Structure 1
Amino acid sequence: MRDESGAVIRLEDYRPTDYLIDRTELDIRLDRHATRVRATLHLRANAAGRPSAPLVLDGDELRLISLAIDGRPAAPDAYEASPERLVIHAPPASPFTLTIETEIDPTANTKLMGLYRSGSAYCTQCEAEGFRRITYFLDRPDVLSVFTTRIEADRDEAPVLLGNGNPVKAGDAGGGRHYAVWHDPFPKPCYLFAIVGGRLDKVADTFTTMSGRRVDIAVYVEPGKAGDAAYALDALKRSMAWDERVFGREYDLDVFNVVAVSDFNMGAMENKGLNIFNDKYVLASPETATDTDYANIEAIIAHEYFHNWTGNRITCRDWFQLCLKEGLTVFRDQEFSADQRSRAVKRIADVRVLRSQQFAEDSGPLAHPVRPRQYREINNFYTATVYEKGAEVIRMLRTLIGEEAFRRGMDLYFDRYDGTAATIEQFLSCFAEASGRDLGHFALWYEQAGTPTVTARGHYDPAAKVYRLTLTQATPPTPGQLEKSPQVIPISLGLVGASGADIPLSPPATEGHAPGVFVLDGPSATLTFTDVPEKPVPSLLRGFSAPVRLEIDLEEEDLLVLFRHDSDPFNQWQSAQTVATRAILRAVAGDKRAADHRMADALRHFLAMRAASDPAFAAQVLALPTEADIAREIGHDVDPDAVHHARRLVKAEIGAALGDELAELYGRLTTREPYTPDAAGAGRRALRNACLDLLAAGRPAEGEAFALHQFRDADNMTDRFAALSVLSHLPGTARETALAEFAERFRDNALVLDKWFSLQAMIPETGTLERVRGLMSHPAFSMGNPNRVRSLIGSFAMGNLTQFNRPDGAGYEFLADIVIALDARNPQVAARLLTAFRTWKMLEPGRRALAEKALRRVAETPGLSPDVADISGRSLS
């Protein structure tokens, strides 16, 4: 239960609910300003709860119209009602019913939680605690109820009425109104409740499950946008088939609906049988969506569908177990995308996200364990740690016990806990049983915050042909956890010889684990390899086998050996990243020629050997570490301007050195074949645009000419926007003209204009803050739409390292003003923007003081929401 005072809620204080709600019957009569909700709750006392306890139901800005107990109006002294709570002082003998009528205003609901209006449609968002904004309820995930929902609306305003589960009946309600009844036979917590009503178009199809049942599937969109929903529908069908094939999970209802709305605080929501999506993760056409957009749609459609089993059929006992559904489901959608596209490229992309978001979180004041032990506002724990690191923990578990035991453990989990609200301990017990292993030490990954650093030091004895590798681990202090214990770290490794071949390992692995997997579970360990014929180069953390930082004593030439020859594609990419990182760090330190010829020669050789056969992987190799990556490597007293100039210098040097090769490859990859969003086509475009980006850095005039031609000649958004992105870093008339042409061409497409807003917000120039202020007055921008706010304000604060961190503090003050103003309207979005300060403590002293001043101004603002008060307070701790 939420404590409106902002008090800390602790895992150890969990106790079972005093009452259960077996059935919930809802009658929702939609009206723009006065929606009536009649809820009939069938309750009984919980044997595990407190006997004869008062019944306390959660609310949030509710207006109670009437209350009946067992069909009779409740006496005034039998209950106490406020907008935030309904208390029945002495409930009747179990079982009993409550009939509660409330009135809400969907149009005034700018928080976009509960029932609200998006465009011309009614929709809901109930995770984490939004259902209490619809009716009074036991709004906690361990209260599972069977929902039957009658929805009534004006037929002209809302001809489409959707709910959870299966459609039961529909008909005329008189007075120009109609109704639909939906029944979900599977008990679920109220955070999975959803309805949608509006004038919507749809694309539809069917899917036949592995047992032969027909499922009607559909994607609903705003009128006129059905042509942009075909890819999402196809991704849904592929997700359903994949989950059957890989996890044995069959869909369980007669229908599955996806609805795209334009106002949404998150990416999407897995409501049972009725997934509601931010429209940016549904709508796509070659003219308006990039290859990245298509990949994101595929992944997020899959993610929400996979929640049907990992989140819906088995849900969380409490919100501390959030990673149980989110981390596990992220792992599942990552595996799906890897199977649909390139496994190596997908792994690199996922690790880039992990490092940029979660490692940054782990190193700052907002660090918390994958399963936090306490929170003030649960909305603030939908974080990269819960999602991305949570997925890495699942991946390590599979590495430790092997794929067969992992599948047995998943099957056991589904069989044992179907229809329940589970815990991390129950989840892990299934894998311990399936594998015969004690996972008690491994469970520390769920309890301990921070990113471990693994340090590796090698020594080769040529006379004895013995190679010794000493590994140590340490995790820095994090808020509330000053002392850290050693964790279980699976290290997948190989030894690479000078010729490039892997040297056979003797011994092959830690006992009981897959070949090449060694487990570091103490402070340090020394691995001794015998019969090693030559000095090897160690290839550690193959496939990024654990979410740790690696410090290793390899010379640059050793790293280039791995780049040329490593059989593990992730470490081949990683070695190139490490070489580039070292070059940029040298430039930060003042080396005016940081990238030597060996790096350019290695890239030239790589492109000659791999560009044609694996363009998507080659594109990843050509992408330098980001400014945020470099700042994280420095770790303290960071000067963002110095980082930016150093990276730009190294990028220019590489672009100039490889100019001829890049220009030739760019031309060779140019094609007039029709656009398709498949992996092969996306890979070619990715490499072509990576070449353009580097070429423009090294040869600006030539790069600008190529980019302008591509911008105007492109037949797809991927190439057009990539060209515009290159031009955005080349000040002058060409850039401004291209930006104006882009805005005019797509003036009626809000999602495309979001790209335009975002791109300008990330221009690393001193005039960008004023540009952002000016764009806030653009007709397409709205502070009421989360996508618009994230595209402009969020991109500036989280994607523009130099201008958000201006030395005069103007970027900090700008964001503080926005957060304070937005907090009253949409606390969730305001709080998420404020996390841009998560790394403020690593800045150099001048910027650090100014960032702290802005944060304190936010924290000291009267009347802050719990969301923003929590983030500001923890950021300053």
Structure 2
Amino acid sequence: MRTETAPVIRLEDYRPSDFLIDQVELDVKLHPTETRVIATLAMRPNPAGRSDAPLVLDGDELNLKSVALDGRVLSDEEFEASPHSLTIAQAPRQAFTLTIETEINPTANTKLMGLYRSSGNYCTQCEAEGFRRITYFLDRPDILSVYTTRIEADREEAPVLLGNGNPVESGSIDDSGRHYAVWHDPHPKPSYLFALVGGRLGRVAESFTTMSGREVELAIYVEPGKENRADYALEALERSMRWDERVFGLEYDLDVFNIVAVSDFNMGAMENKGLNIFNDKYVLASPETATDMDYAHIEAIIAHEYFHNWTGNRVTCRDWFQLCLKEGLTVFRDQEFSSDERSRPVHRIAEVKTLRARQFLEDSSPLSHPVRPNQYREINNFYTATVYEKGAEIVRMLKTIIGEQDFRHGMDLYFERCDGTAATVEDFLNAFAEVTGRDLSHFARWYEQSGTPRVKVKSQYDEAGQTYRLDFTQVTPPTPGQAKKEPMAIPVALGLVSHDGSPLSATCDQVDERGVFLFDKAADSITFTGVTSLPVPSLFRGFSAPVKVSLDLPNAELLVLLRHDTDAFNRWQAAQTVAMRLLASLSIEGQVADEEIDAFSTALCAFIDRDAENDPAFAALVMTLPSEADIAQEIGQDVNPDAIHRARSELRRRIGAACSKRLQRIYAAFTETGPYSPDAASAGRRSLRNACLDLLAAADPIAGEALASAQLEAATNMTDRLASLSVLTTIPGTVRDDAIAWFGERYRNEPLVIDKWFTLQAAIPEDQTLERVKNLMQHPAFSISNPNRVRSLIGSFAMLNQVQFNRADGAGYRLLASIVLRADELNPQLAARLLTAFSTWRMMEISRRNHAEEALRSIAQKPNLSRDVGDIVSRSLEESQAK
């Protein structure tokens, strides 16, 4: 493979920096193509570093203009510079000041890392290693510095100038038409949290009073004319701040908190200290343009980035191997926030669906890695579901094991000890070990071992002795680089359910008062006594551990859980397990006994009659079958996506027909009547109504087409409008084609809505979709340089359309390969993310597998691949190359 060479970075090789940077003064003169940056660094040797080490600063595509040491300009012989590094061999052995002037071109920066322009505005993205694209620096997270930033720009081009921290001063520069602003952040931070913004922006603002009585000015900056779409984000920010004070005792620490929404962004958002920069899709919302899911995502991501103020900013990472320390912990915190703001069971189910769809898949793919990796070549490729979602599950398991009170005390101790430092996973766990007196070294394996543990459970009932025994075994399959796995500490929240729903008084010494059994051996058993009738076990309540469970329960007993379990998650899980069994049989064998489908349909009908209207959001989840990707993951090998699609379509048809009258009744009863509100209860009613529409259309496409068309015409909000169009895309014909065309024309000037339009079309599981995607790439709204447009069209085709991406002729693979190569020339991070769609290729049946491998090798053979893409493709092919 010919690509940019990248050394392997290993956790075991970490050592402190040889130098420290205490103060950073930046003078940034913004210009579209010739921005000048003067960085004045107050430096000193690190007592923990090497005393004879040269000073080596990181750079990336920089144009150096001058270097001065303690005010004296250095000659070319006194330093060595390239676009990627600056070395001073004879650096002082005492405190000194280094002044570096660089020139950069923000307009040409298509990588969207460092300083770049988005829709004419200047903005930055410095995580993980983007600050080195602004100036030469010790660009690593354990270098904590106090920043003062002076920003200068043409007032007409950039009337708004924002930086980290608090505003210090601002003003005009003579009569030149230029102006400046100075920002100071008193809290030492790593370079990845640096940010600045300059441009023409609208503003919405509010005042917030902290729990200690301090006044904080909150502001959100957006493209002019879109200010009214930022109201919900601002309100979500206030709720997030109040929640963090109430639940964790954490108060905001600056005078201002600013958020800026930009249209070109590689990520969802970035937690820069006091100046969060967001992808505009996670800020802008109105009933006409945003769905209920958009509102929920805005709420969650606003909260996530704000919560980073403590878990990520005040306490940051010693090195990038500790990324889960900020991301997994902060995901846990935003999940708890959303659970408190909405329905905890419904939100928990949504979290687990995401985890299984993304992280379980990652764990079973060539890209599998531990939550704390032990090595990497390109850190940008480790912003993964494993680090984020599985990292959050580890924190949740810790809370489950030690209890809520000790968890809060451990968090308090962690903040007390580590505030203002760059911490490690060990620092985090040690706080809880000290509070509880527990040895958490066994639990730490969750950070060290990759792969998803598989837990098998067998049950045995002794009617005469009135005992019920559960036998547990666990194994974690081998993953790249980790063949042998040790047993994990797995908290099993459980209970027993009677067949008629009546209470059971069974007891078990191995289960604590909260109903948790800690399973931390390769095999173990627990026994309940006083069990007067055969129970049904309800295991891993609330999904108490990120494991795959094999349980010897027949479908009939699983449906008992659906009817009677007190744990909402396991009620949903029971329905999903039965559905998955039916879908797997239909996919592999092409048939399943009618009575099995009838029994499942009857149980769903009974569920709808009893529960649907009481908790609509939960009912909608129970009525939604596992996705085609979920089914493929369950089958695991020799997957035929066409067979899976046929199986899921058939089961949807059968359920829709069996429950038709009930679905029609709920659909009519839940018609939207009042003004739109994004609150959880209203969103739940819409989700149930639209789930009914989907099943009705599956059972009777003609009637479904009429219903969906009427809803599309009458809809007063984007949720209902998009749901009806989604149903129509499943029914070929002129009605569908006209609806797609109408929607595209209506929203042609709304980029974020056009993204939804792209996504719906890319996901149509028909042979013509491949050409449709190619044609849409020529649409005026599509741009290969805009990550949102690429993800909505190409990403959706590759990730959501299992049938057409995994076409038997390999054309879907070839299309993605060609786009990855195009994107790699502009934005390697975006290209690498697209490439992860190939993570399932080894699951496919042999002919598809061969086509996928051929496409991957065509990428690998391309000269001058970026490190991002080269890393992903090499890991994807690693096993094949070994063979």
- TM-score bracket, shorter-length normalisation: over 0.9
Per-residue deviation, 1:835: 0.2
User: 1:512-541 deviations in whole A, cap 9, x for unaligned?
Assistant: x44210011011101111110001100000
Q: 1:597 and 1:154, CA in 2 relative to 1: closer, same or farther beyond 3 A?
A: same
The residue number in structure 2 matching 1:527 is 526
User: Take 2:435 and 2:406, find their aligned partners in 1: how far apart are those partners?
Assistant: 6
CA deviation profile, 1:696-743 (whole Å, cap 9, x unmatched): 001111111110000111000000000000001111111111001101
Paired residue type of 1:400: I
1:93 deviates by: 3.0
Instruction: Write out per-residue CA displacement over residues 395-424 of structure 1, whole angstroms, 9 at most, x where no aligned residue.
Output: 000000000000000000000000000000
| Amino acid in the other structure paired with 2:876 | S
Q: What residue in structure 2 maps to residue 630 of structure 1?
A: 631
Tell me which amino acid in the other structure corresponds to 2:78.
A
Matches within 5 A, 1:365-764: 365-507=366-508, 509-510=510-511, 513-588=512-587, 589-591=589-591, 596-764=597-765
Partners of 2:59 and 2:609 in 1: how far apart? 64
Any conservation in 2 of the 1:153–1:177 contact (CA below 8 Å)? Answer: yes
The answer on whether the counterparts of 1:819 and 1:833 sit within 8 Å (CA) in structure 2 is yes
SS state at 2:80 partner: strand
Q: Could you say what secondary structure the match of 1:586 adopts?
A: helix
Counterpart check, 1:214 vs 2:247: no
Equivalent-residue separation in structure 1 for 2:602 and 2:616 (angstroms): 18
Match of 1:86 in 2: 86
Q: Aligned pair 1:231/2:232, yes or no?
A: yes
Distance 2:387 2:554 in 1: 35
Q: Distance in 2 between matches of 1:382 and 1:420?
A: 22
1:802-821 pair list within 5 angstroms: 802-821=803-822
CA contact (8 A) 1:80 1:87 kept: yes
Residue 268 of structure 2 is aligned to residue 267 of structure 1: yes
Structure 1 unmatched runs, 5+: none
Q: What amino acid is aligned across from residue 602 of structure 1 in structure 2?
A: A
User: Residue 488 of structure 2 aligns to which amino acid in structure 1?
Assistant: Q
Structure 1 residue 749: Cα displacement = 0.3
Matches of 1:234 and 1:345, distance apart in 2: 22
* Rounded Cα–Cα distance in structure 2 between residues aligned with 1:120 and 1:571: 50
- Structure 1 residues 710 and 508 mapped into 2: Cα distance closer, same or farther (>3 Å)? farther
The aligned amino acid for 1:268 is A
Q: CA deviation at 1:829?
A: 0.1
Code of the aligned partner of 2:580: T
Contact 1:140-1:190 at 8 Å conserved across structures: yes
Distance, in Å, in 1 between the alignment partners of 2:221 and 2:731 is 41
Deviation at 1:822, TM superposition (A): 1.0
| 2:4/2:864 contact within 8 Å kept | no
Matches of 1:5 and 1:423, distance apart in 2: 28
User: Is the Cα contact below 8 Å between 1:707 and 1:723 reproduced in 2?
Assistant: yes
The CA distance in 2 between the partners of 1:256 and 1:205, in whole Å, is: 10
Task: Let me know the Cα RMSD of the aligned residues.
Answer: 0.9
Q: Deviations over 1:331-374 (max 9, x none)?
A: 00000000000000000000000000000000010000000000
Task: State the one-letter code of the partner of 1:151.
Answer: I
Alignment map for 1:59-458 (pairs within 5 Å): 59-174=59-174, 175-458=176-459
**Cα offset for 1:600?**
1.3
Q: Distance in 1 between matches of 2:383 and 2:847?
A: 31
Q: Hey, what's the Cα distance between the residues in 1 that align with 2:173 and 2:765?
A: 58
The aligned residue for residue 824 of structure 2 is 823
Extract unaligned runs of 5+ from structure 2. Answer: 879-883
- Secondary structure (helix, strand or coil) at the match of 1:224 reads coil
Letter in 2 for 1:359: F
**Partner SS state of residue 49, structure 1:** coil
1:293 deviates by: 0.0
Cα distance in 2 for partners of 1:320, 1:269 equals: 19
Q: Paired residue for 2:881?
A: none
User: Following the alignment from structure 1 to structure 2, what is the Cα–Cα distance between the partners of residues 25 and 817?
Assistant: 44
Asked if the contact 1:631/1:643 (under 8 Å) is kept, the reply is yes
Could you say which residue in structure 2 is the equivalent of 1:18? 18
2:478–2:484: 8 Å Cα contact kept in structure 1? yes
Q: What is the Cα deviation at residue 506 of structure 1?
A: 1.2
TM superposition shift of 1:245 = 0.2
Is the deviation greater in 159-168 or in 577-586? 577-586
Q: Is the 8 A contact 1:488 1:519 kept in 2?
A: yes
Letter of the aligned partner of 2:56 in structure 1?
V
DSSP 3-state at the match of 1:596: helix
AA aligned to 1:16 is P
TM-aligned CA deviation for residue 503 of structure 1: 2.0
SS in 1 for 2:310: coil
After TM superposition, give the deviation of residue 75 of structure 1 in Å. 2.4
Q: Is the 8 A contact 2:4 2:870 kept in 1?
A: no
Distance 2:239 2:128 in 1: 28
Alpha-carbon contact 2:4-2:866 (below 8 Å) kept? no
What TM-score results when the alignment is normalised by the length of structure 2? Answer: 0.98
Write the letter of the residue equivalent to 1:527: I
In structure 2, give the amino acid aligned to 1:702. Answer: A
Please give the alpha-carbon distance, in whole angstroms, between the structure 2 residues aligned to 1:406 and 1:187.
27
The answer for the alignment partner of 2:44 in structure 1 is 44
In 1, distance between residues paired with 2:605 and 2:735? Answer: 30
Other-structure match for 1:798: 799
Preserved CA contact (<8 Å) 1:505 1:516: no
Give the AA of the match of 2:490.
Answer: I
The count of residues paired between Structure 1 and Structure 2 equals 873
Structure 1 residues 538-561: Cα deviation after superposition (integer angstroms, max 9, x where no partner): 000000000000000001110010
Task: Report how far residue 592 of structure 1 moved.
Answer: 5.7
2:121–2:200 Cα contact (<8 Å) kept: yes
SS of alignment partner, residue 764 of structure 2: coil
C-alpha separation in 2, matches of 1:318 and 1:641: 44
Which residue identity lines up with residue 761 of structure 1 in the other structure? A
TM-score by length of 1: 0.99
Q: Tell me the distance in 1 between the aligned counterparts of 2:221 and 2:735.
A: 40
What's the CA shift for 1:180?
A: 0.2
**Residue type of the alignment partner of 2:855:** A
Please tell me the residue identity of whatever aligns with 1:19.
F
Q: Secondary structure at the match of 1:170?
A: strand
2:529 aligned partner, one-letter code = T
Amino acid at match of 2:402: I
Counterparts of 2:290 and 2:597, CA distance in 1: 38
CA contact (8 A) 1:659 1:699 kept: no
Give per-residue Cα distances to partners, 1:727-780, cap 9 Å, x unaligned: 011111111110011011111000000000011000001110100000000000
Q: Distance in 1 between matches of 2:328 and 2:719?
A: 30
In structure 2, distance between residues paired with 1:379 and 1:296 = 23
Q: 1:224 to 1:797 in 2, by over 3 A?
A: same
1:586 Cα deviation after fit:
1.9
Residue 78 of structure 1, CA deviation:
1.2
CA–CA distance in 2 between the matches of 1:583 and 1:842?
20
> Which residue of the partner structure matches residue 854 of structure 1?
855
Q: Distance in 1 between matches of 2:782 and 2:405?
A: 51
Contact 2:582 2:592 in 1 (8 A): no
